[in-house]
Amino acid sequence: MPTDDPARRCKTPRVRFAGVVGGTGFPVLLRHGYPQCHVAWHRVASGLADHFTVVAADLPGYGKSRVHDAGPWHKRAAADELVAMMRSLGHERFAVVGHDRGARVGLRLALDHPKHVTAYCSLSVVPILDVWPAVDQHFAKRVFHWFMLAQPGEVVERLLAANPDAFLEGTLDQMSGEIGRLDPIAVTAYREAFRDTSVRRAIIEDYRAAFDTDVDHEAADRAAGRKLVCPIMVMWPTDRLIASGMESGTLTAADVWRRWGDDVRDLDVACGHLNRNLSLTLAISGHALIQKCGSEAMCSRAASRGMVAMPNGPDAPQRWPFHQSTWTLSASPVGLSLASGAPVHSLVSV
């Protein structure tokens, strides 16, 4: 098996991506959320890899993915680079599953690149345009980091730099209900990434964009009547607040998403934001995505979990495994987490 060479990464015009690929079949791009990286998906990757080519890469600037320049960075820019990454891996058409911030990038992927995205699954997210009108004091207290990280200037980075571990661990503790429920290997990966100044800056830019550029893009889409043409699956934790202040009456996450597409299916999950039930339910969504992708995906189910076929030529991505991580399910009680102790799939660099 090839050794892990950190210099080997899939490069697009603006990003050097890091992550893993496993399984064989119709490609599915997994997008993690804040404050995580691609190891968040290892709890469910095994089940999905039974049927799909699973591509799990760090969001631009998160984890070990690095942005080359200091230009504008919003969800549209991230989506453009992710399409370039998938195409460099030989995938012209693929499904997208996104959690948290990754789901916001997934929306932009599906809206801006409909010829590439065949299905879209949103975990715990409704579009930001529909969130802002419903924000109240309870929501603001629960997701205080949205407002803190979006502040201008250098004050936020200076505060985070003073004790990045404490801020990260407090965030994970709040999101999971108890940080001890998360796999310690995953927490270590998140902690190591968050200690990097460039990662913290990328996260700050991500949240700043949600206050202006991202919402402006979504407002323009709604004004123009643009909708997702692909099927949409929505999974929503039953204990999460929905944007009930938008209108009178009861409004579900699926109701919100039907403003953005005509083919919407939803599933409520009894869990929290980083709860294992959400991750386990994602395995169920994999089968639903197979149906949504059509016969092409059905015919390409994995006969084995060998190396994914890669494009040839001098610009083809190099092959490497992501240290000694595995695709097996973690024994931790709660969390989307990294497991260890079994052989890895043959992986390729993304």
**Whole-angstrom Cα Rg for the chain:** 19
Residue 135: strand, helix, or coil: coil
Distance CA 218, CA 226 (A): 9
Among residues 50, 58, 80, 100, the one annotated as catalytic is 100
Beta strand 264-269 pairing with 232-237: parallel
Among residues 38, 42, 217, 273, the one annotated as catalytic is 273
**208 alpha-carbon distance from chain centroid:** 18
**67 alpha-carbon distance from chain centroid:** 17
CA distances from 215 to 76, 120, 151, 287 (A): 11, 20, 16, 32
Q: Which value, to the nearest 10 degrees, does the dihedral of the CA atoms of residues 266, 269, 272, 273 take?
A: -30
**96 alpha-carbon distance from chain centroid:** 9
Q: How many residues does the chain have?
A: 350
Residue 118 in tokens = 């065949």
Active site residue 273: yes
* DSSP letter string, 200-241: HHHHHHHHHHHHTHHHHHHHHHHHTT--B-S-EEEEEETTS-
Q: Where are the beta strands (DSSP E) in 73-141?
A: 94-99, 117-123
Count how many Cα atoms sit within 13 Å of the Cα of residue 41 in the half-sphere of its side chain.
32
**What are the catalytic residues?**
100, 273
